[in-house]
Amino acid sequence: MVTKTNQLRVKRLLGHVEHAGFLDPLTRHPLMGPMLSIPSFNIGPVPVTPGLVLAPMSGVTDSAFRMMVKRASGKSVGLLVSEFISIELLTSRHMQAAIRMAFDPRERPVCIQIYGADVEKMAEAARMVEDAGADAVEINCGCPAPKIVRRGGGAGLLRNLPLLANILNATVNAVSIPVTIKIRNGWCEDSINALETLKVAEENGAQAIGVHGRTRVKLYRGEADWDIIKQMKSVATIPVLGSGDVVVPEDAKNRFETTGCDGILIGRGAIKNPWIFRQVEDLMQGRPVFEPTWADKVDLLRYYRENLDKMYPERVAPGRMKMMLSRLLKDLPEAPTLRIECLRLETPDAMIEHLTKTLDNLGLLGELTEVRAA
């Protein structure tokens, strides 16, 4: 029997494969491609294989979400990073900080990100992260939120490199696990100082540096600048990870090829598509790119719901589930009202039941593909 897949493979051999058609219009990419190697790197003694990292996202990358990504992409995601945690909350033993720091052993390797501007508290918070069993601790030097930078934390540290040097030095000396930092290009276009920040990181013991290719002032507007990431990689003695605008597998492939970076951080692309790490590896290894069915998506939502129950009180789960459903259903042309209908329901179980029933009635559910267990 001649299937569409076989037809595409034949066209590939003849050199006439198109980059569209037969594919989901939201994630268009060729089913096959040249085999390329995904870089791997070490953060101190911690191997990151492959160099594909779930980026930290406030209010998103809790343990339930990280477990969902791990289930969807399996070993194709080399490192998981938590949402950032305030050093003030952590050192005061606040319950919210403890929940954000929690992780499942199946997430390993896992990095916990902390933020603040107090040298002693940063070191103390890092010790708590180490005591919790994390594989690495990261200092946030990139968050653009006004309430963070007003107190000198996040991207505010980019305007005070001597303070960052003191924080790094104290933190590195306080723990035995590796310390990394996440930065932006600089504060504004007139103060691009990523190369200077890299030097501070190297001289004070950081084991890796992640770079979001925008300034603090730019927030998330416009396109990320990956040229600075390429420049940093050319002179760095520690791994350089690039971040910004990696939303489909081709984006990651292109960034590896054009910058030579050691790793790529994927954030927004993983919210809508937790399989993206797996798809990047498929694409770069020349395999057919995995495309989840709606049955796969529903199965993953059920798994996410189970992990929400383990982490939070019952009142928290509906909000988190609505966030996931909102992104997942945003571009479903066959059922434009389904997203609104699900978001109006009160419980995660009701949302999933309505989603499943509607997709089944529309003939969209499909077969459940074997998913990689977390």
pLDDT tens digit sequence for 28-64: 344 444 566 899 999 999 999 999 999 999 989 999 9
Are the C-beta atoms of residues 261 and 230 closer than 8 Å to each other? yes
Band of pLDDT at residue 4, cut at 50, 70 and 90: very low
Global pTM value: 0.86
Give the Cα separation of 335 and 323 in Å (integer). 18
Phi and psi dihedrals of 265, rounded to 5? -95, 130
Contact 7, 19 (CB under 8 A): no
- Amino acid 189: pLDDT: 86
**63 vs 6: which has the higher pLDDT:** 63
Tell me: the pLDDT tens digits for 227-279?
999 999 999 999 999 999 999 999 999 999 999 999 999 999 999 899 999 99
Q: Read out DSSP for 275-334? A: THHHHHHHHHHTPPPP---HHHHHHHHHHHHHHHHHHS-TTTHHHHHHHHHHHHTTT-TT
The catalytic position among 111, 141, 143, 342 is 143
- Mean pLDDT of all residues in the chain? 88
Rounded Cα distance between 69 and 188, Å, is 33
Q: What is the mean pLDDT of residues 336-340?
A: 89
Torsion 310-316-317-319 (CA) sign: negative
23 class by beta-carbon count within 10 Å (0-12 exposed, 13-18 middle, 19+ buried): middle
Q: Which DSSP letter does residue 246 get?
A: -
For the chain, the farthest-separated pair of C-alpha atoms sits apart, in whole angstroms, at 68
Number of neighbouring beta carbons within 10 Å of residue 247: 19
Site of tokens 């796969």 = 296
Mark whether 143 is an active-site residue: yes
Q: Please report how the helices 194-203 and 227-235 are oriented relative to each other, as an axis angle in degrees rounded to 10.
A: 30
How far is residue 259's CA from residue 228's CA, in Å, rounded to a whole number? 9
Q: Which pair of tokens denotes residue 353?
A: 């039941």
pLDDT tens digits for 120-157?
Answer: 999 999 999 999 999 999 999 999 999 999 999 999 99
pLDDT of residue 374: 61
In the numeric block, the tokens 């490199």 are attached to 161
* pLDDT score for 104: 96
pLDDT bucket at 2, cuts 50 / 70 / 90: very low
Inform me whether the pLDDT recorded for 370 exceeds 70: no
